[in-house]
Amino acid sequence: MAKILKQRNIISLLILIAIVFPFLTKNEYFIHVMTLSFIWMIGVYGLNLLAGYTGYLSLAHAGFFAIGAYSLGILTVKAEMNFWLAFLLSLLITGILGFLIGLIALRTKEHFFAIYTLCVGYIIYLVIDKWDSLTEGVRGLIGIPAPGKAGPINFEEPLSQYYLVLFFLLVTVLIVYRIIHSLSGRTYIAIRNSEDLALTIGISTMKNKLSVFVLSTIFAGLSGALYASFIRFIGPDIGQISVTFDLLTYLLVGGIGTLSGPIVGTVLIVWLSQELQFLQDYRMLIFGPVLTLLVIFYPRGIVGALTGWKHKRDEKRKPQAARASSMAFGKSQVTVDKPVKEG
């Protein structure tokens, strides 16, 4: 029980830090970078749900990110729609396109799925780049409005935007947390571990994969829509494959298939990139090998390595208790602590 409390404390502490962060630094640039990190995290959580928990590595997520961003941009700039209506619609549009693409993409598996979605991502990029009349092509969309007023709150200021994005991030984390700790989450993990076995225990794999895929694209779309309203200018570049690989790098470094991995990975890489800016593109000379080593030795990233290490330590410390450990689900009579294995 003490451990669960400790975990709760860590989460509350993190949220508190995120809330007071703008007061700790007067540097607006830092707040800008942090807001952008939060936006990326939402997309990374979407990718994590699909690639980390269900085992389907999508390389089309920059495409869905761009669909969310462009939907918002076009609806507000060209159709001059109310911001929040456009915001909701852009999530809906991303979800519908995700559904249609998922119907076909999910007929493939493993690396075929990765290659297929890589192509889908590139096609989305091309459509955005070439469809001048709708997207303004390479010129990009300029003058996307900041989030509209929500009651008395105004989102023109960097500070209020920071809190708005933080709010959406917390909602995302809460949703993902609840899914992972539910029967649906167990179902997705079962599919990841063995699709054949999942089928034999009566799980409709297609239906489940499709719902994760759609939800995952909606998170990517949310991330894109927030990006568009924050940066207020978007070009076709945001749909490029390199953006997908950025998201994937954040996820791999933090820990794929772990709950806190997206936060750890994104914060770490974004700040490291900022600190190493004087190296320009030579940064990749450092990132490349480090990432390779990490994937080889710690396939579940930093968070995976930490939880694995903690798990081992707990087993060593009380081999007797570990046996009956999982009895401790709150209601049981067994008094030993359950080692919390969640990432």
Stretch that binds another protein, among 27-35, 67-75, 118-126, 320-328 (CB under 8 A): 320-328
For tokens 């990765």, the residue is 114
Q: How far is the CB of 2 from another protein (least distance, A)?
A: 18
SS3 141: strand
Question: For residues 268 and 340, which CB has a smaller minimum distance to another protein in the complex?
Answer: 340
Q: Is 327 in the site for another protein (CB under 8 A)?
A: yes
Q: How far is the CB of 312 from another protein (least distance, A)?
A: 11
Stretch that binds another protein, among 70-78, 148-156, 185-193, 264-272 (CB under 8 A): 185-193
Q: Is 202 in the site for another protein (CB under 8 A)?
A: yes
Q: Is 7 in the site for another protein (CB under 8 A)?
A: no
Single out the residue of 187, 216, 258, 260 in contact with another protein (rule: CB under 8 A): 187
Q: How far is the CB of 14 from another protein (least distance, A)?
A: 22
Single out the residue of 205, 237, 249, 268 in contact with another protein (rule: CB under 8 A): 205
End-to-end CA distance of the chain, in Å?
17
Q: Is 322 in the site for another protein (CB under 8 A)?
A: yes
Single out the residue of 2, 5, 201, 296 in contact with another protein (rule: CB under 8 A): 201
Q: Is 297 in the site for another protein (CB under 8 A)?
A: no
- For residue 290, give both structure tokens: 């480090």
Q: Is 200 in the site for another protein (CB under 8 A)?
A: yes
Q: What is the enclosing helix (H) or strand (E) of 45?
A: helix 28-47
227 contacts 65 by C-beta, under 8 angstroms: yes
Cα maximum dimension of the chain: 69
Q: How far is the CB of 317 from another protein (least distance, A)?
A: 15
String marking each residue 52-81 x if it binds another protein according to CB under 8 A: ------------------------------
Residues 6+ apart with CB under 8 A from 325: 336, 337, 338, 339
Q: What is the DSSP string of 291-338?
A: HHHHHHH-TTHHHHHHHHHHHHHHHHH-HHHHHHGGG-SSSSS--SPP
Rounded CA-CA distance 342/331 in Å is 19
CA angle in degrees (0–180, nearest 5) for 25-26-29: 90
Stretch that binds another protein, among 18-26, 145-153, 220-228, 326-334 (CB under 8 A): 326-334
Question: For residues 162 and 213, which CB has a smaller minimum distance to another protein in the complex?
Answer: 213
Q: How far is the CB of 332 from another protein (least distance, A)?
A: 10
String marking each residue 210-249 x if it binds another protein according to CB under 8 A: -x---x----------------------------------
Total residues belonging to the chain: 343
- State whether the Cα torsion 229-240-71-263 is positive or negative: negative
Burial of residue 295 (CB within 10 Å: 0-12, 13-18, 19+) is middle
Q: What is the DSSP string of 209-260?
A: HHHHHHHHHHHHHHHHHHHHHHH-EE-GGGGSHHHHHHHHHHHHHH-TT-SS
Stretch that binds another protein, among 20-28, 120-128, 132-140, 182-190 (CB under 8 A): 182-190
Binding footprint of another protein on the chain (CB under 8 A): 175, 178-179, 182-187, 189-190, 193-194, 196-197, 199-205, 211, 215, 322-327, 329, 338
